[in-house]
Amino acid sequence: MWCWKKKSPLISEKSLPSVAEYILSEQCTKIVTMAGAGISTAAGIPDFRSPSSGLYAQLAALRLPYPEAVFDFDYFTQNPVPFFRICKEMYPKLKVKPTLTHYFIKLLDDKGLLLRHYTQNIDGLERKAGLCEDKLIQAHGTYETGHCLKCNKGYSLKWMETYVMSDTIPMCIACGALVKPDIILFGEGIPQRVVSKCRSDFRSCDLLLILGSSLTVEPIASFAGLVKKKCPRVLINRTPVQKRGFRFQNSDSRDIAWYGNSDEGCSTLALYLGWEKDLVKLMGNKK
């Protein structure tokens, strides 16, 4: 007689000690991390969705047709003023230091476990924490560089900042057209290079670690669905995330959620991994 035996998840208990045990096991050699704005709020950069401090909550004064219009490519080409107003808010904040979470991601790399880090953030803090180009995918681009929308001439953050901080729209010195920071606006689409790399990375990883993201912005949010059926998916986020396909509540599922600040979650994880001193050292070296 056939007896259907349900396969148990690779991580025995939905707890950080069990996650740490799995990370240290031979079964876990390739980790993909995926981060959102929540990993940078402790550095002083607001996220979009937290009710009082989030960026969308501050947009009322800009009289936008809808809050997301500020990051809409078509809207930007017609009226770049609100976008550059947000840039003016953001630029001074980009000078901040990475958070413990950024260093934890770098530590995973130093331990030889990081396959790739996918960030939706545009603040460049992963790079500041020391993550190299090869391990980092800035899926929504970056503020660090910019290009002319017509002739594609490249510009530095410093150049754009000079204009933006004095409430002037940056225009190309070669052809006079609008210059846009290299962040990807709604309607522009994620570069094909990112999408194809993403498919192979997510399909081959042994653990997906999601940090500080509401998982609402597509297509990145849905990449979490590309991992193998048994691959554990661990979310560390301040608030619960309602994302189709995740079963955090089911005791026998591979999805694990830990709710709280990502710095606290990552430092606790580092403690269970026995990496506490390494993390402190890494953060100290970068001061």
Element (H, E) at 35: strand 31-35
Q: Of the two residues 71 and 155, which places its CB atom closer to ligand CNA in the complex?
A: 71
Q: 9: how many CB neighbours lie within 10 A of its CB?
A: 19
Return d(Cα 47, Cα 99) in angstroms, integer. 14
**Among 163, 238, 272, 278, contact with ligand CNA (rule: CB under 6 A):** 238
**Among 109, 123, 161, 206, contact with ligand CNA (rule: CB under 6 A):** 123
Q: Nearest Cα to 208, choosing from 190, 193, 221? A: 221
**Among 29, 156, 239, 242, contact with ligand CNA (rule: CB under 6 A):** 239
Rule CB under 6 A: which of 127-166 touch ligand CNA?
140
| Residue 267 makes contact with ligand CNA by CB under 6 A | no
Q: How far is the CB of 263 from ligand CNA (least distance, A)?
A: 6
Q: How far is the CB of 141 from ligand CNA (least distance, A)?
A: 8
CA angle 23, 24, 26 (to 5 degrees): 95
Q: Residue 283 has which token pair?
A: 């953060």
**Among 11, 28, 38, 72, contact with ligand CNA (rule: CB under 6 A):** 38
Return d(Cα 16, Cα 14) in angstroms, integer. 7
CB 241 within 8 A of CB 213: yes
Q: Of the two residues 187 and 274, which places its CB atom closer to ligand CNA in the complex?
A: 187
CB 241 within 8 A of CB 217: no
**Among 98, 114, 118, 120, contact with ligand CNA (rule: CB under 6 A):** 120
The piece of 109-117, 168-176, 206-214, 222-230 that touches ligand CNA (CB under 6 A) is: 206-214
CB 240 within 8 A of CB 234: no
The answer for 63, left when phi > 0, alpha when psi is -120 to 50, beta otherwise, is left
Binding-site annotation, residues? 37-41, 47-49, 120-123, 148, 151, 172, 175
Q: How far is the CB of 14 from ligand CNA (least distance, A)?
A: 18
Q: Which residues bind ligand CNA (CB under 6 A)?
A: 36-38, 40-42, 45, 47-50, 55, 120-123, 140, 212-214, 216-217, 237-239, 261-262
